[in-house]
Amino acid sequence: MKASKKSLIASGVSLLASAALLAGSTFAWFTDSVTNTGNKIQSGKLAINAYAYDLAADGTQSFTIEGVNGDKAFAFEATPQNLKTDTTPIINDTLFEPGKSNAKLLKVENAGTLAAKIRLEFQIMDGSLTDALWFDFVQVKDGAVVGAFQKRPMSELETIADGMELPLLANENVQFILVYGMNESAGNAFMEKTFSADVAILAAQYTKEEDGFGSDQYDKDAAYPGHVATEAEFKAAFEQAKDGDKIVLDQDIAITNTGSYGNGTPDTYILANDIVIDLNGKTLTVNSNDRFMLAGDNITIKNGTIKAGPMGSGKISYSLGVTAGSKNALIENITIEGGIEVLGSGATATLRNVTSTATNYYNVYLAGGATATVESGEYTSAAGKVHFYTQTQNDKIIVNGGTFSGGMPTHAGSGTMNNNI
């Protein structure tokens, strides 16, 4: 028994010793690794600078354009106006008269690392002198004029400028001369008139750089600032709009009231002031009772079609509205289906060259102390309805021009219509 007990104890000690040896040892597996550090994706920079040069007798940049300045050479100043830091108007001519002309040299340079495309946008603010003026753009390459000068009516300025899209690669610049003047045939009717316009130089990505798949077309639809092509972009543009912005449609868009801004305003309202909404020949379809509403001062909507979308089994009655306190709305060169509402104390709107077809009720409905002025256009009322309805005695419609179904403008309601035709 004693011998067996000693044998068991010895075996236990041996097992413990073996376990201790195993615990203190390591296993050797085959291993390897590859480490790659410093990976990054760095974006490029899209930026432009723009400069304007005035004519100068002692200028350093000389040009000759057939048909301009009597075919004699003219020159521009050496030191330009930096349009990013100096907001002085490029054009500031006074005492203009028939036969007088002027020119500006404009230079746009790519100040970034990415290829860009650029375009000009002019917005005529006061056009009472427009029909007496002419202009043209002449491009400059390698210090020389390219192409022929063509005297164009100033009324085409916005359209011609919109069609001038130019590529601008990194470290390059483009230059063009804006020539303008007053027609020699302009008569006394154009004395003491004014022409004024705002100009913007816009830049967006250009199809130059290639992606990893070898394509340079991934940004072929890159939009310019303020240009929109979808309902989401349109709503975002007027929700985020700052006073003085311009919004341009690049595609037909349909909008529906689907929510509200943080302050509870429906998301089909634009609240900023001094906004220009250029439909750009496109169609805006309004698909809800919360119609597209102009809710800021001095808003212009122009150059396109506004359609009334569905409402139940029919179509909505009013597709465009001007809200209370919204002053000096201008509705210009618009074809509209569904009528216009001008609502609330202080709301004022001017209709210029509007083609209006009422769907259910009136071409213009006023309520709450609003005023609308009809300057021109064509107005077709709904069956059995008048053209204009004023709900309260403080509402007023002023008719200075236009043509109307049935021959003369018709009115009903408690307010007044001043027919000056």
pLDDT of residue 147: 87
By residue count, the chain amounts to 421
State pLDDT tens for residues 159-191: 888 788 889 999 999 999 999 999 999 999 999
CA distance 344 to 197: 31
CA distance 268 to 279: 15
The CA-atom distances, in angstroms, between 409 and each of 175, 232, 317, 388 are 51, 39, 19, 8
- The pTM of this model reads 0.73
Whether the CB-CB separation of 339 and 350 falls below 8 Å is answered with no
Token pair of 411, please? 């009115």
CA distance 349 to 351: 7
Whether the CB-CB separation of 151 and 178 falls below 8 Å is answered with no
Mean pLDDT, residues 384-400 taken together: 95
User: Of the CATH numbers 2.60.120, 2.60.40, 2.20.200, 1.10.10, which one belongs to the domain with range 48-205?
Assistant: 2.60.40
Mean pLDDT, residues 383-400 taken together: 95
In 114-252, DSSP assigns E strands to 116-127, 133-141, 144-146, 152-153, 166-168, 173-182, 195-205, 227-228, 246-249
CA distance 397 to 413: 11
Whether the CB-CB separation of 179 and 92 falls below 8 Å is answered with no
* Long-range residue pairs from 326-329, CB within 8 A, at least 24 positions apart, any chain: 326/294, 326/295, 326/296, 326/297, 326/299, 327/297, 327/298, 328/297, 328/298, 328/299, 329/294, 329/298, 329/299, 329/300, 329/301
State pLDDT tens for residues 39-86: 888 888 999 999 999 999 999 889 999 999 999 999 999 999 999 999
Geometric angle at alpha carbon 180, from 177 and 186, rounded to 5°? 170
| Domain boundary assignment for the chain | 48-205, 227-419
Banded pLDDT at 340 (limits 50, 70, 90): very high
Whether the CB-CB separation of 410 and 374 falls below 8 Å is answered with no
pLDDT of residue 12: 56
Phi, psi of 378 (to 5 degrees): -125, 130
Of all helices (H) and strands (E), which one includes residue 278?
strand 276-278
